[in-house]
Amino acid sequence: MAKEHNKNSERPVAEKGEHIIARHLIDDDAIKEEKNLVIDGVDVSGRWNTFIETRVDSEFDRSFFDEIQKTVVGSRINRCWQCGMCTASCTVTPLYRRFNPRAFIYMMQLGNLKLLKKYTDVAWRCVGCYKCSQRCPKQVNPAEMMEALALLIKKYFPEEIKSKHQLTIDEEVKVIYEGMILGHGRLDLANLHTSAMRKMGKTTELMSDKDERGAIFKMMKDGRALSVLRLGKPHKWHKSKDAIDNYLRHTGTLEQENN
């Protein structure tokens, strides 16, 4: 029991939910408990007002599904039948088991935001190798679904993302992104990812064996890194490049110094 005392009484006050037997079975979020609460003159502070939210899902929220389906990257969400071939082939999953494209897609299909919220720390880990999309028998394009996921996580849990992962570098990512597109005609998400990590100052993580560097070594070893390089630029890229360049300049999106 915590030593803290309630101002109004001499009873010792417990940590939230401390008195619950088998406390480890219940998520923090699911326990509602007011430290100081008086109802009709009766002191029901602490354990006397403990409330545990139901752990049974009581609805499938389809509005979330609809929202994702309307996006370009998420339009094929209705195709996924949960076979798991994306997760099985994913570059990132062996490093972060909690990053599971199939499971994320399922959570998105059922609009289970409560569950998705628990993965805000890993949900944006996709390195864009597109292996999953190559394997997916339904052509869901799970790689792009992961993009849809990242966007939605950002929209629905901005606080989580800010507080937990300091993802406040929109502008910088934009610069890297444009440089990549205009320079190579392709988006190399692995590159984007590492650049962003560097900008965030997460260099230790970037260089640690089991995290990013592990992934990079793995990709070099099985030839994926090489195959990305071999892709080269799209056909007649200089023409498209000029057109995109013009457009971005016209809309004022492209800054002068990016030339």
Partner 1 sequence: MAENILVIGGGPAGLHAAIELAELGVNVSLVERDTFFGGNPKKFKYKYLFPDLQPAENVIGELIKGAESNNNIKKYLSANIESFKEDGKKFSAVIKSSTGSETKTFDSVIVATGFEHFDPAKDSKYSYQLFDDVIDIKDLERMMGEGNFTRPSNGKPPKNVAIILCVGSRDRHVGNQYCSRVCCTVSVKQAIELKEHFPETEVYIFYMDIRTYGFYEDLYWKAMEEHDVQIVKGRVAEITSGPDNTVICKGEDTLLRGPFEIPFDMVVLASGMEGGPQSPEMADKLGIELDEHGFLKQANVTLSPFKSNKDGIFLAGACTGPKAIADAIVEGGAAAMDAYIYAKKNS
Give the DSSP H/E element, type plus range, for residue 31: strand 31-32
Residue with smaller CB distance to ligand SF4, 16 or 193 = 193
Name which of partner 1, ligand SF4, none residue 14 binds, using a CB cut-off of 5 to 8 Å depending on partner kind.
Answer: none
CB 125 within 8 A of CB 150: no
Name which of partner 1, ligand SF4, none residue 100 binds, using a CB cut-off of 5 to 8 Å depending on partner kind.
Answer: partner 1
What is the distance of C-alpha 51 from the center of its chain? 30
Q: Does 107 bind ligand SF4 (CB under 6 A)?
A: no
From candidates 82, 240, 246, 253, binder to ligand SF4 by CB under 6 A:
82
Q: Does 148 bind ligand SF4 (CB under 6 A)?
A: no
Q: Is 77 exposed, middle or buried (0-12, 13-18, 19+ CB in 10 A)?
A: buried
Q: Does 228 bind ligand SF4 (CB under 6 A)?
A: no
> Among 149, 147, 115, which residue's Cα sits nearest to residue 128?
147
- Which residues, in sequence order, are bridge partners of residue 12? 5
> Among 128, 113, 104, which residue's Cα sits nearest to residue 188?
128
Residue with smaller CB distance to ligand SF4, 83 or 225 = 83
From candidates 77, 122, 136, 176, binder to ligand SF4 by CB under 6 A:
136
The Cβ-side half-sphere exposure at 148, using a 13 Å CA radius, reads 26
Residue with smaller CB distance to partner 1, 13 or 90 = 90
From candidates 46, 74, 111, 128, binder to ligand SF4 by CB under 6 A:
128
Residues in contact with ligand SF4 by the rule CB under 6 A: 80-86, 89-92, 101-102, 105, 126-132, 136, 138, 140, 142-143, 146
